[in-house]
Chains A and B, each alone.
Chain A
Amino acid sequence: EDQVTQSPEALRLQEGESSSLNCSYTVSGLRGLFWYRQDPGKGPEFLFTLYSAGEEKEKERLKATLTKKESFLHITAPKPEDSATYLCAVRAAGNKLTFGGGTRVLVKP
Chain B
Amino acid sequence: GAGVSQSPSNKVTEKGKDVELRCDPISGHTALYWYRQSLGQGLEFLIYFQGNSAPDKSGLPSDRFSAERTGGSVSTLTIQRTQQEDSAVYLCASSLEANTGELFFGEGSRLTVL
Determine if chain A interacts with chain B. Answer: yes
Chain B contacts of A42 at CB under 8 A? 107
Q: In the docked arrangement, what's the CA distance between A32 and B98, Å?
A: 13
Task: Assess the A43–B105 pair: CB atoms within 8 A.
Answer: yes
The interface size bin for chain B is 20 to 34
A-B contacts, CB under 8 A, total: 60
Asked whether A101 lies within 8 Å of B56 as measured between CB atoms, the reply is no
B56 near A96 with CB under 8 A, answer yes
CB-defined A-B contacts under 8 Å, sample of 23: A4-B42, A34-B102, A43-B93, A43-B105, A46-B103, A46-B104, A87-B43, A89-B43, A89-B101, A95-B48, A95-B50, A95-B56, A95-B99, A96-B33, A96-B45, A96-B48, A96-B56, A97-B33, A97-B45, A97-B101, A98-B45, A99-B44, A101-B42
CA distance A32 to B107 in the complex (A): 24
User: Which A residues are in CB contact (< 8 Å) with B91?
Assistant: 43-44
Chain A residues within an 8 Å CB radius of B98: 95
Q: Which residues of chain A are within 8 angstroms of B62 by Cβ–Cβ distance?
A: none
Report the nearest A residue to B108, measured CB to CB: A43
Say whether, besides A42-B107, A49-B101, A102-B42, A95 and B4 are in contact (CB < 8 Å): no
B31 at the interface (CB under 8 A from A): yes
- Is B59's CB under 8 angstroms from A96's CB? yes
